[in-house]
Amino acid sequence: MEISKNQCSKLLVGIIISLCTLIGIYFWISIFFINHFYFGSTINCFNVSGRTVEQADEQISSEIDSYSLKLEERGGEAEQINGNDIDLKYNLDGKIQSFKDKQKPFAWIPGIFTSKDSKSSDIVNYNENLLKKSVDKLSCLDNNTVEPKNVSFKYTDKGYEIVDEVYGNKINKDALYQSIKNAISNGEKAINLESANCYENPKYTSKSKEAIDTKNLLNDYVNTTITYNFGDKTEVLNGATINNWLQVDDDLGVTFDEKEVKKYVDTLASNYNTVGKPRDFVTTAGLKIKVSGGTYGWEINKSEEVKDLISLIKDKKSTTKEPIYSQKGISHDLNDIGNTYVEINMTRQHLWFYKNGSLVTDGPVVTGNVSGGCGTPAGVYKLNYKERNATLKGQGYSSPVSYWMPFNGGIGIHDANWRSVFGGNIYRTSGSHGCVNSPYSLAQSVYQSIDEGTPIVCYYE
């Protein structure tokens, strides 16, 4: 289909008219923007779109006269700071014209799409003292503040659970004051205190990696089981007790309350230590007596056991063990003396030595001088060591002996060649300084068969 010359002419005329119209509109709008701000223009958030400098000045002045800043707080609460309360005043002083001069009238097309909020740091003046007083009066800063709290941890029969953090409503006053100053200077009508980071928040929340790691570590610890063996008796330590020892610090680090661990070990010691405790003892004569005191028996090394226990739990090692002992007895039976022991009846002044249930030797002895206050103490002791050809020294004496077997400090069994008679009531007035004086043959027989640590039972009927 061919276009006639007449049609071409009409088309050309139409294009020319359209271009002229557009150019006319462009120039007409450009003339408008000689005295008016671009559409979408703002100065410190005050809307001056399409206004002249004078209109913008009046607009901003009017808005400042009625200015108030809304503070949007947590929990839906809101407060205001009014311009009148802080002596807020308009202070453009020719700056609106300078902002307008930066907008080129004939560059209005790209200017509309690139226009931004014009900023001036001193568009307004206010009394800082009045502002501080207004801030101090805010309800969000009163004494009903709920402090933020980090995530915490709760032990249940299923293990540890995370207890959510508490955000509270405590304001960072310095941050709030700075945010208010910035908002007023920029002409903002509202600030959200949450978005402006004006609150003091918990450092760790339930979503924090640190919180999850801490919960897992706590559960690893309480899932550890320690089984203590005490002969045919056992004590099982598990999370029901361990959780009472665990503490979480402000940085979610897990620590052990050593005082609580020591209480547990103290209980073990109280239940299973036998040193010095009353014991039922059946004498050679068949009498059932109680013997208290002495140094023999089981004794847990409490300080070392506390360390070992904490170390095992930290290593997450479930295990069966004996406690660390500072000294051990022969057995864990009710009578932990066993069937190898020395029996000394200080009333009858007689000694018996049994080994594996069989009598090795026995004979009369002389024990400590009762009238001189040197009576040999009753109790169950253990042989500390044995020594040949020792010299016993004390205040006013030095006595060589062939067989020395100490069991209670400086008190021990030994031969006494200066005595020709043993037994009877000699001990009441002419006894030893506390030692058990024995005939040479008796001391020799005991010495040859006894081992270090053997129980020595001393008693009065």
Q: Are strands 42-43 and 117-118 parallel, antiparallel or unpaired?
A: parallel
Euclidean distance between CA atoms 438 and 419, whole angstroms: 9
The two tokens of residue 244 are 């009472």
Vertex 434: Cα angle to 329 and 386 (nearest 5) = 50
Q: Looking at 36, 198, 433, 435, which residue is catalytic?
A: 435
Q: Looking at 36, 140, 198, 414, which residue is catalytic?
A: 414
3-state secondary structure the chain: CCCCHHHHHHHHHHHHHHHHHHHHHHHHHHHHHHHCCCCCCEECCEECCCCCHHHHHHHHHHHHHCCEEEEECHHHCEEEEEHHHHCCEECCCCHHHHHHHCCCHHHHHHHHHHCCEECCCCCEECCHHHHHHHHHCCHHHCCCCCCCECCEEEEECCEEEEECCECCCCECHHHHHHHHHHHHHCCCCEEECCCCCCECCCCCCCCCHHHHHHHHHHHHHHCCCEEEEECCEEEEECHHHHHHHEEECCCCCEEECHHHHHHHHHHHHHHHCCCCCCEEEECCCCCEEEECCCCCCCEECHHHHHHHHHHHHHCCCCEEECCCEEECCCCCCCCCCCCCEEEEECCCCEEEEEECCEEEEEEECECECCCCCCCCCCEEEECCCCEEEEEEEECCEEEEEEEEEEEECCEEEEECCCCCCCCCCHHHHHCECCCEEECHHHHHHHHHHCCCCCEEEEECC
CA 442 to mean position of chain CA atoms: 62
The reply to whether 414 belongs to the active site is yes
The reply to whether 435 belongs to the active site is yes
Active-site residues, by number, are 414, 435
